[in-house]
Amino acid sequence: MGKKTKVALAIAAASAAAWAGTKAISKPQKRESKEALQFERPIIIAQHGGAGLAPEHSLLAFERAAEIGVDGFTVSVRLSKDEEIIAFHDATVDRTTNGSGFIKDFTFEQLKELNIGYNFEDLEGAFPYREQHVLAVTLRQLIETYPDKLFIVNIQDSPDTYEGSLMPSKLWRLIEELNIQYQVIVTSPYSEQIDRFNLYAQNRIALGAGEGDIKKAMTSFTSQFGHLYHPKVDLFIVPLKQGVFNYDSPRFVKFLSELNVPTIYSDIDDLVTMNRVIRQGAMGIVTNRPDIAEVLIQKVSQ
């Protein structure tokens, strides 16, 4: 047996011993069930109210999606100059008639002067809302309008900004005031924002995974040390694929579900894929086209 072969075998033996040792002492810790995630069937969530049918985050979009019968909405939120929690995805208002500027530089009253539907292009390539005045709305307005819907609230302000530093406490106070702990899931691209929010919520609110949490879970899943992964969030909302990571895997869904962490796939706008990921074990889908999902909604509601 050559020297290189002996070294390779020694490394393999050491790795196997390390794996066996960690497997023996580390037991997966399941997340405690959250009330907002208690569904007995797959759920259909409208992205930003149904951004493929009407201007995103407009009451028009939410109304159309609600009429179709979705279970809830994703809502991106940012803090305005007067510290209102605004339903708005982009940092700037470049897509409105009034051109440039950041959400943080406008009060809510000033934002209401802008037409947030100005650049919405409908399915036929027209811009039907340019002659209308589509108003910005607050998260409070949406929650009070749809008390029977689930809200997946996505904090968009970076934790390194003034607005981002305030958002976790502002959001917690709103949830506490409206007593809607059972109706809300809080997430953010920034895992740090989720951690900050949970300092107030103390695990009383369902938490969605941030980008750091998602990468950590996938890295653990693809390694031999998945048994060392202990989730600190309650839900994964992921695309089918992002960069080098492929989340479209029944095994990945099963890996998380065994930890009591369901998976929802985002940006699913065709019925074939909707049906497929549901069959794979996903808790549900997020779609810009609730009209396409209407057939699926009727099916899962039976």
pTM: 0.89
8 within a domain of the structure (yes/no): no
Residue 5 tokens read as 């072969």
Note whether residue 101 is domain-resident.
no
Tell me, what CATH number does 156's domain have? 3.20.20.190
Q: Extract the runs of DSSP E, i.e. beta strands, from the chain.
A: 43-47, 72-79, 85-87, 150-155, 184-187, 206-207, 236-238, 241-242, 245-246, 263-265, 284-287
Structural domain boundaries enclosing 144: 31-90+139-301
The answer to whether residue 26 sits within a structural domain is: no
* Domain annotation covers residue 109: no
Is 204 part of any domain?
yes
192 part of a folded domain: yes
Least Cα distance to 116 among 187, 45, 48 occurs for 48
Does residue 98 lie in a domain region? no
Work out how many domains the chain is built from and give that number.
1
Residue 113 lies in a domain: no
**Phi (first) and psi of residue 79, to 5 degrees:** -95, 130
- Interatomic CA distance for residues 17 and 271, integer angstroms: 47
Question: pLDDT tens string for the chain (302 positions)?
Answer: 555 554 444 444 444 444 344 444 446 678 998 999 999 899 999 999 999 999 999 999 999 999 999 999 999 999 999 999 999 999 888 878 777 789 999 999 999 999 999 999 998 899 999 988 999 999 999 999 999 999 999 999 999 999 999 999 999 999 999 999 999 999 999 999 999 999 999 999 999 999 999 999 999 998 877 678 999 999 999 999 988 889 999 999 999 999 999 999 999 999 999 999 999 999 999 999 999 999 898 888 77
